[in-house]
Structure 1
Amino acid sequence: MKTVKEITMHLQQVSNFEEWMKEIENDERAGVKKAWASWLNRYEKQQKIIEEHHAKLAFDASFKLSKDSYVAGVDEAGRGPLAGPVVTAAVILPENCEELVGVNDSKQLSKLQRAEFANTIKQYALSYAIHFQDVEVIDTFNIYEATKQSMKQSVLNLHIRPDYVILDAMEIPIDIPQSSIIKGDVKSLAIAAASILAKNARDEYMEQLHKEFPQYGFDQHAGYGTKQHLEAIEKFGPTIHHRKSFEPIKTLILK
């Protein structure tokens, strides 16, 4: 009979149910019961993630106009910050994307997870495009219009023309059929992938900006209006990367 330690180590190394586990289910030793309960919990969580993955794939496939048509997911990052660009991304994924199991709304993932998934998405996507919309455009128009223009450019920059475009609660001026999906980054794998690319690219941009303007802490808050950021703006004034049409920067400039 295997020891509790041997069984525990073995369970930690497998992710799917195997024939030998039937004996584990009936083992009365407390240590084995604990190890088995832990494995079951991990297994059930992973199965849920896989089920959600297939549901997202099916959701995207429902927009296909034919078996061979392409559906692009589009999302943005950075509409709310006081500084930096708004970044958008468009992604066309292959029909089978098992490598992307676990891809979710970028806000639900850690910074490290986003970076890892961004690399995987770039590797397996049939086509992807990322667009940075400058602060000048945001201030000239408004954040909503600037985001729409950026999303449009992301779609146009894809090297494969999509037959259908799905966006997270947005509509853009393109001559391609599209749907605006409420909570699209939760329902759609393609939109979730786009949200990850946009968020990861923007974070990298703001980290580079931090090297030029370390006193603002862009690597900590990515330009959002945190207490630290607001205090830095009050002390040092806005940079060329701050959105002059956003408060409190707008009022500060008028003083």
Structure 2
Amino acid sequence: MEIIAGIDEAGRGPVLGPMVIVGVEASEHSLKKFRLKDSKEYARVTRDNLAISLIKTVERIHIRVLYPEIIDYFVENKTINELEFLAYLSIIKDVNAKTIYVDCFSTNIDYIKRLFKERVPQKRFIVEHKADRKYPIVSAAAIIAKHIRDAIMDVLSKDLGVYMGSGYPSDPRTINFLKSVLEEGNVKILNGIVRFSWKTVKRLMKLFLSL
């Protein structure tokens, strides 16, 4: 059976924690039994259990963890799309499969597909938005990426002794965590955890540190 690959990320938008990009290699047949869907549609426990089963099933997994420092550098000096492109490309170069399905991180699908093809011409690329909803191989990558990111966030929360929430700016627990730390003026503990280039963080820092 032909082995194909899928690549997706988890954690592009949060103010806290890393972005995790995962590439998965597997046969379509091996994934059919899971009836995979969008990773966001699963409850945490269900997604974690599913991720563990997928890890045991797929042929190969490629993981890239992009921490806040590198994200901040690209946001301030280049673009986050450039960072994602480089991370995706590094996975693509490691993949053995000839056909690779990619959940596109850019609004310009044709441009990204052309860049991948120019750098790795021997591969066949299917690049689409929301590919994790259409292709099980991409769903598998997204589920595993989310599982890894959640585990990292759990460790960070445990190390600090404070639950930080999901890390997304829409999560009140995350915003309350940031506010409590900034109110105390203890910015140093946020190093390696917070994306200081995010507008939400800049706004809160300006509000609390200027008091």
TM-score w.r.t. the length of structure 2 is 0.77
Q: What letter corresponds to residue 150 of structure 1 in structure 2? A: A
Q: Match for 2:38 among 74, 86, 105? A: 105
Q: Which has the larger radius of gyration?
A: 1
Residue 88 of structure 2 corresponds to: 151
8 Å Cα contact 1:167-1:181 kept in structure 2: yes
Q: What letter corresponds to residue 88 of structure 2 in structure 1? A: M
8 Å Cα contact 1:133-1:147 kept in structure 2: no
In structure 1, the gaps of 5 or more residues are: 1-66
| Residue 194 of structure 1, CA deviation | 0.2
For 1:146 and 1:209, locate their aligned partners in 2 and report how far apart those are by CA, in whole Å: 23
Q: CA RMSD in A?
A: 2.1
For 1:78 and 1:84, locate their aligned partners in 2 and report how far apart those are by CA, in whole Å: 8
For 2:200 and 2:64, locate their aligned partners in 1 and report how far apart those are by CA, in whole Å: 27
For 1:236 and 1:182, locate their aligned partners in 2 and report how far apart those are by CA, in whole Å: 37
In the alignment, does 2:201 pair up with 1:222?
no
| Residue 180 of structure 1, CA deviation | 1.5
In the alignment, does 2:177 pair up with 1:244?
no
82 and 209 in structure 1: CA distance in 2 versus 1, 3 angstrom threshold: same
8 Å Cα contact 1:169-1:180 kept in structure 2: yes
Higher RCO (C-alpha under 8 Å, 6+ residues apart): 2
Residue 180 of structure 2 corresponds to: 235
In structure 2, the gaps of 5 or more residues are: 106-111
| Residue 82 of structure 1, CA deviation | 0.4
Residue 101 of structure 2 corresponds to: 166
Query: Counting strand residues as a fraction of each chain, which structure ranks higher?
Result: 2
> What is the number of residues matched between the two proteins?
183
For 1:128 and 1:102, locate their aligned partners in 2 and report how far apart those are by CA, in whole Å: 19
Residue 141 of structure 1 corresponds to: 74
TM-score w.r.t. the length of structure 1 is 0.65
Residue 47 of structure 1 corresponds to: none
Q: What letter corresponds to residue 202 of structure 2 in structure 1? A: K
Q: Match for 1:125 among 58, 73, 97? A: 58
